[in-house]
């Protein structure tokens, strides 16, 4: 009984399946879980069978397909699984609020996070990628230094090392050719911390 968490969370497939089921009270078919969790169907089905055996997942069996639903009345689901995945989902927002401390009032700058944390795809070894855009590169560097001063505090709380990049407004809006692919990617995934308008073209 005391190794139940090893069984419950012992594989990446189970964690991905549980994360998917936490997000839906009605539940999903195995095929839909496979698609959403990005887990191969055999691994997905094996994880679902084991989670059902633990009583963590209920199965509504149908003629054409079965629907798998998280048993939210289960003690470990209520006290461990749901709170853990909800905290995981709130992590990016918590990081943004932490970075925002001390940056209010800088109306002439914009600060973004980008990369795997912004996409909610971070993993062990991921950096917290931060982009600072200001009127000039020198102004951006000053703001970046204020952020870097809190790097140890942020890493202690969230586990991410900081990687801060700075740009002047002119560079951001009229980038040299070698910078354009990077900025296109950043524009597609960046999440504003403060400001947020300086990457937008008029």
- What is the value of pTM for the model shown? 0.81
Residue 80 within any structural domain of the chain: no
Summarize pLDDT for 114-141 with one digit per residue, the tens.
999 999 888 878 899 999 999 999 999 9
Contact by Cβ (8 Å): 96, 113: yes
Residue 78 within any structural domain of the chain: no
How far the first Cα of the chain sits from its last, in Å, is 61
Number of domains into which the chain is organized? 2
Residue 162 within any structural domain of the chain: yes
CATH number for position 155: 3.30.460
Q: Which of 115, 103, 104 is nearest to 144 (CA)?
A: 103
Residue 79 within any structural domain of the chain: no
CA distance 155 to 104: 21
Q: How confident is the model at residue 147 (pLDDT cuts 50, 70, 90)?
A: very high
- Mean pLDDT over all residues of the chain? 91
- Kindly state whether residues 95 and 181 are assigned to the same domain: yes
How far is the CA of 191 from the CAs of 72, 95, 159, 197, in angstroms?
32, 11, 19, 11
Residue found by looking up tokens 């407004």 in the block: 169
Question: Of all residues in the chain, what percent carry a pLDDT higher than 70?
Answer: 94
Residue 172 within any structural domain of the chain: yes
Q: Residue 40 belongs to what domain range?
A: 4-73
- Kindly state whether residues 68 and 106 are assigned to the same domain: no
Give the pLDDT confidence score for residue 201 in this predicted structure: 46
Domain boundary among 32, 47, 73: 73
- Kindly state whether residues 38 and 128 are assigned to the same domain: no
User: What are 198's two structure tokens?
Assistant: 């300086």
Q: How confident is the model at residue 193 (pLDDT cuts 50, 70, 90)?
A: very high
Angle of helix 12-22 relative to helix 82-100, nearest 10 degrees? 80
CATH number for position 24: 1.10.10.10
Give the pLDDT confidence score for residue 45 in this predicted structure: 96
- Kindly state whether residues 94 and 184 are assigned to the same domain: yes
């Amino acid at each position: 009984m005391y190794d139940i968490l090893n069984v419950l969370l012992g594989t990446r497939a189970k964690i991905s399946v549980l994360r998917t089921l936490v997000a839906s009270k009605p539940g999903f078919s195995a095929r839909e879980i496979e698609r959403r969790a990005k887990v191969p169907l055999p691994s997905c089905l094996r994880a679902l069978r084991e989670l059902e055996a633990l009583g963590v997942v209920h199965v509504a069996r149908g003629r054409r397909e079965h629907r798998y639903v998280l048993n939210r009345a289960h003690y470990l689901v209520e006290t461990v699984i749901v709170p853990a995945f909800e905290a995981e989902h709130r992590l990016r927002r918590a990081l943004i609020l932490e970075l925002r401390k001390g940056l209010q009032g800088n109306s002439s700058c914009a600060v973004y996070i980008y990369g795997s944390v912004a996409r909610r795809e971070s993993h062990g070894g991921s950096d917290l990628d931060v982009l600072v855009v200001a009127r000039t590169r020198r102004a951006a560097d000053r703001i970046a230094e204020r952020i870097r001063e809190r790097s140890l505090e942020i890493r202690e709380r969230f586990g991410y090392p900081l990687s801060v990049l700075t740009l002047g407004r002119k560079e951001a809006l009229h980038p040299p050719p070698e910078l354009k692919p990077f900025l296109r990617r950043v524009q597609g995934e960046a999440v504003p911390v403060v400001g947020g308008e300086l990457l937008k073209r008029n």
